[in-house]
Amino acid sequence: MDYLQIEGIKSLNGTIKISGAKNASLPLIAMTILAKNSVNIKNLPNVADIKTLLKLLSNLGAKCDFLEDRVVVDTATLTETKATYDIVKTMRASILVLGPILTRFGHCEVSLPGGCAIGQRPIDLHLKALEQMGAKIKIKAGYVQASAPNGLKGCNIIFDKITVTGTANIVMAAALATGKTTITNAAREPEVVQLCEILNASGVTIEGIGTAILTIYGTSQELINIKEFSIIPDRIEAGTYLCGGAITKSELTLENTKAEHLGAVIAKLEEMGSTFKITKNSITIYPSQVIKPVKIITQEYPGFPTDMQAQFLALATQADGTSIIEERLFENRFMHVSELQRMGAEISLNGNVATVSGKSQLSGADVMATDLRASSALVLAALVSEGTTNIHRIYHLDRGYDSLEQKLKGVGAKITRLKE
């Protein structure tokens, strides 16, 4: 197993190129199941989760040619309709194939994703919506067994909660359904917006893109023609490196990024004292020498993203004063707290609220990555710690950060990947 060794107290300087968004790529790769042509996808991030989903599609019979940052996916040869436990257990987002396979083939089996480090993460809302569209669903032997022999039917769906992959799954299911589907309380994340835009450009009329009410006009099981497209930049990767600039008090420029997807993140960094220069495709952070404390509540887009909570918690350890961070999306997304405490951070946890007392002098330690974003918080903390930090179990980081150590090395960090 690999681990990362980071020497702290380094200031950084330079430019980082942001990769394509993992959480946009996953539904867009699943979307190729709806296509009659082979689909060319550009600007894919080189991360483990993408390879896992491509492996799942290959196991189902699709042809996937993955070359650096692009892939050509041909699902014409896809005949299997069962996503097995061995893959789904490694990546919950495998559930994204349920909607597309069911709507195309009239049946699908997907291993039920189990619990997760950050919370229970049920998929009841995905299943309830598919049932409303006419699917018969059984849970048997650890699998979701779904069938709709005569195809799915459009209907009105009101999500009890906003769900990102739930919205993506149902949008894809509705794309080949018969009639009109309306989703109320739909997710508005940029990744969902891109999925809707690509489907819309491929002949599936979708109204209300980017709003909480989506209307999808299905093609009655006719497969669609999807033209080449490029994945949007990863806003969470960009947000993480902006926190890297803020915590090390270093001027950094991010290229291939879209500031309009980072409104809440940039606003909080401004409250903490940083200023920014923003162009169409780049963001430069000018950090303040004194970091101000902050109050954060995680929310669905366009609110402050839960996927940036851990990184801001690390940053808050370096603020002068007390920050309050409330996690509203996932019940157990504070596993990084105990690792940060081991590095000297002063954090008290009360339910879903973390109170961070700054400024703490952190010191390097052996710490354990527990989930993807928790891992990046440890990297940020390590950059400003005295001495050496060894971050173990970095397979979590590799799931979602493309070339993290090369990118950080490129701006001057002392970071090395080693074998346990």
Q: Which residues are identified as catalytic? A: 116
How far apart, in whole angstroms, are the C-alpha atoms of residue 354 and residue 335? 11
Task: Select the span of 118-126, 244-252, 334-342, 386-394 touching ligand EPZ (CB under 6 A).
Answer: 118-126
Three-state secondary structure call for residue 103? helix
Q: How many residues touch ligand EPZ (CB under 6 A)?
A: 23
Distance CA 151, CA 157 (A): 17
91's enclosing H/E stretch is none
With respect to ligand EPZ, which residue has the nearer C-beta, 235 or 249? 235
Min dist CB 100 to ligand EPZ, Å, is: 15
Choice between 105 and 330, CB closer to ligand EPZ: 330
Q: State the Cα–Cα distance between residues 288 and 254, nearest whole angstrom.
A: 18
The token pair that represents 413 in the structure block: 């960090």
Point out which span in 156-164, 246-254, 274-282, 403-411 binds ligand EPZ (CB under 6 A).
156-164
CA angle (179 as vertex; 128, 192 as ends), nearest 5:
60
Radius of gyration of the chain (CA): 21
Do residues 103 and 126 make contact, with C-beta atoms less than 8 angstroms apart? no
How many other C-beta atoms are found inside a 10 Å radius of the C-beta of residue 108?
Answer: 27
| Choices 157-165, 241-249, 308-316, 407-415 (CB under 6 A): range interacting with ligand EPZ | 157-165
Using an 8 Å Cβ cutoff, are 192 and 171 in contact?
Answer: yes
Among 65, 86, 124, 260, binds ligand EPZ (CB under 6 A): 124
**Shortest Cβ 414–ligand EPZ spacing (Å):** 26
Assess 250 for contact with ligand EPZ (CB under 6 A): no
Q: Which of 204, 201, 163, 197 is nearest to 183 (CA)?
A: 163
Is residue 83 close enough to count as binding ligand EPZ by CB under 6 A? no
From residue 182 to residue 211, what is the string marking binding to ligand EPZ with x (rule CB under 6 A)?
------------------------------
405 three-state secondary structure: helix
Assess 164 for contact with ligand EPZ (CB under 6 A): yes
The pairing of strands 82-83 and 414-419 is unpaired
Report the residue from 304, 312, 330, 334 that binds ligand EPZ according to the rule CB under 6 A: 330
Q: What is the DSSP string of 161-225?
A: S--HHHHHHHHHHHHTSBSEEEEES----HHHHHHHHHHHHTT--EESTTSSEEEEE--TT--B-
Binding mask 2-31 for ligand EPZ (x = CB under 6 A): ---------------------x--x-----
Among 88, 262, 372, 382, binds ligand EPZ (CB under 6 A): 372
Comparison of 202 and 306: residue with beta carbon closer to ligand EPZ: 306
* CB of 166 or CB of 239, closer to ligand EPZ: 166
The residue range among 32-40, 72-80, 114-122, 348-356 that interacts with ligand EPZ, by the rule CB under 6 A, is: 114-122
Query: Shortest gap between Cβ of 399 and ligand EPZ (angstroms)?
Result: 8
Q: Which of 123, 176, 193, 264 binds ligand EPZ (CB under 6 A)?
A: 123
Reported for 88-92, long-range contacts at CB under 8 A and 24+ positions apart, including other chains, are 88/56, 88/112, 88/113, 89/113, 89/114, 90/52, 91/49, 91/52, 91/53, 91/399, 92/116, 92/121
166/358 with CB nearer ligand EPZ? 166
User: In the window 388-417, what residues touch ligand EPZ (CB under 6 A)?
Assistant: 400
Between 253 and 298, CB nearer to ligand EPZ: 298
| Residues with Cβ within 8 Å of residue 207, at least 6 apart in sequence | 214, 215
Q: Structure tokens of 156?
A: 């009105």
121 binds ligand EPZ (CB under 6 A): yes
Give the nearer residue to ligand EPZ in terms of CB position, either 9 or 353.
353
Can you tell me which of 29, 62, 93, 177 binds ligand EPZ, judged by CB under 6 A? 93
- Binding of ligand EPZ at residue 302 (CB under 6 A)? no
Residues contributing to the site for ligand EPZ (CB under 6 A): 23, 26, 93, 119-126, 161, 163-166, 306-307, 329-330, 372-373, 400
